[in-house]
């Protein structure tokens, strides 16, 4: 936790994790405020209001609908139209969900969320619960914001967190958000599905509806096939066998360095998806914002547009966006 902070601003969604963070801050800090970041033109859930009322905590509503539309929805749609597979949640944390409350912090007030992650001595680390660790989603957040943050659930296990909220008789949303919190209509044009030899095997409905590694929704072909490449230039969906999904190399751009490297070439652990284990890789910096990633063993479904997070053991070094080529 940042030093010399006597008050907390808690990001409250109404879910069990943010409600637990609110409860813990109520017991730890002299002054606590809560904030709901409105990204969809809707009021905060009644559960959020009820929890704040029971604890005697002020709930602030921050209108971020326009910012969310410009920074997340429109950008996501554009990236899909370019044949990429973006990670809106990670980008949203960096540019909206944490950036907006950060702008409302008072002096000596710490920004609090219910993320399962650790931030100690200027370093972002994995949370204690390996099934809920969310450091991957925070790797694009600027150090300026992280330096003012506190994660009360850092050393907690999900089951104990839920039990704590239930014992305190605080209401919370039962369902948890697992998918994209907004919908995108397809804007792509139909085109050809081709195999690795360039032979037409079917038709796609628009490239923005597909991602690398996808098997379902591409129609029946000669055997079990996967999307192995999205050819935006020629509006083609290229399919192949499972072995065609593996690659040893990719590039990353827009790197957010939390711990700047001492050398332009170094080894680390690289994680290319939220639920995918990190793997050994060699990073070679091309410049401050771009780098080449060489995996020790070939990785499956490395999708341009996704976040790649670099770790040294459990410590986040940086986060960047996967790019097929520079």
Q: Are 212 and 227 in contact (CB under 8 A)?
A: yes
Q: Is the dihedral of CA 316, 320, 324, 326 positive or negative?
A: negative
As beta bridge partners, residue 153 has none
Phi and psi at 58, nearest 5°, equal -70, 135
Q: Are 324 and 250 in contact (CB under 8 A)?
A: yes
Euclidean distance between the first and the last CA atom of the chain, given in angstroms as a whole number: 38
Cα 278 to Cα 85: distance, rounded to the nearest angstrom:
19
**Does 92 qualify as catalytic in the annotation?**
yes
Q: Are 82 and 89 in contact (CB under 8 A)?
A: no
**Given 11, 89, 92, 250, which residue is catalytic?**
92
Q: How many other CB atoms sit within 10 Å of the CB of residue 114?
A: 23
- How high is the pLDDT of residue 325? 59
What global pTM score does this model have? 0.91
Ordered by where they begin, the domains of the chain are 7-167 (3.40.50.620), 191-240 (no CATH), 245-323 (2.40.30.10)
How does DSSP classify residue 106?
A: P
As beta bridge partners, residue 249 has 294
Cα 118 to Cα 185: distance, rounded to the nearest angstrom:
37
Cα 134 to Cα 132: distance, rounded to the nearest angstrom:
6
Matching residue, tokens 């044009």: 189
Q: Determine how β-strand 290-300 pairs with β-strand 246-257.
A: antiparallel
- How high is the pLDDT of residue 7? 96
For residue 321, give both structure tokens: 């966006």
> From first to last of its 326 residues, what are the pLDDT tens digits of the chain?
666 678 999 999 999 999 999 999 999 999 999 999 999 999 999 999 999 999 999 999 999 999 999 999 999 988 888 888 899 999 999 999 999 999 999 999 999 999 999 999 999 999 998 889 999 999 999 999 999 999 999 999 999 999 999 999 999 998 766 556 666 666 678 999 999 999 999 999 888 888 899 988 888 787 889 999 999 889 999 999 999 999 999 999 999 999 999 999 999 999 999 989 999 999 999 999 999 999 999 999 999 999 999 999 999 999 999 997 55
**Does 250 qualify as catalytic in the annotation?**
no
């Amino acid at each position: 936790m940042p030093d010399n902070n006597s008050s907390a601003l808690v990001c409250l969604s109404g879910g069990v994790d943010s409600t637990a963070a609110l409860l813990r801050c109520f017991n730890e800090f002299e002054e606590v405020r809560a904030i709901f970041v409105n990204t969809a033109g809707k009021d905060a859930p009644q559960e959020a209001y009820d929890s704040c009322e029971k604890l005697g905590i002020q709930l602030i509503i921050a209108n971020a609908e326009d910012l969310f539309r410009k920074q997340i929805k429109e950008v996501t749609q554009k990236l899909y139209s370019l044949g990429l597979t973006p990670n809106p949640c990670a980008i949203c944390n960096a540019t909206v969900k944490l950036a907006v409350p950060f702008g409302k912090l008072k002096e000596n007030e710490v920004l609090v969320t219910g993320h399962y992650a650790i931030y100690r001595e200027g370093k972002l680390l994995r949370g204690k619960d390996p099934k809920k660790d969310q450091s991957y989603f925070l790797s694009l957040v600027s150090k300026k914001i992280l330096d003012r943050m506190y994660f009360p659930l850092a050393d907690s296990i999900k089951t104990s967190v839920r039990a704590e909220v239930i014992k305190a008789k605080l209401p919370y949303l039962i369902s948890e958000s697992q998918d994209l919190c907004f919908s995108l209509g397809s804007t792509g044009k139909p085109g050809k599905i081709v195999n690795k030899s360039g032979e037409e095997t079917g038709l796609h409905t628009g490239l923005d509806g597909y991602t690398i590694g996808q098997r379902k929704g591409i129609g029946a072909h000669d055997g079990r096939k996967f999307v192995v490449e999205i050819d935006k230039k020629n509006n083609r969906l290229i399919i192949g066998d499972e072995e065609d999904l593996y690659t040893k190399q990719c590039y990353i751009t827009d790197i957010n360095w939390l711990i700047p490297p001492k050398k332009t070439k170094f080894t680390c652990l690289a994680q290319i998806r939220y639920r995918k284990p990190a793997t050994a890789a060699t990073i070679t910096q091309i410049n401050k914002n771009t780098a080449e990633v060489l995996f020790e063993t070939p990785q499956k479904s490395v999708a341009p547009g996704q976040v790649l997070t670099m770790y040294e053991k459990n410590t986040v070094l940086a986060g960047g966006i996967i790019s097929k080529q520079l």
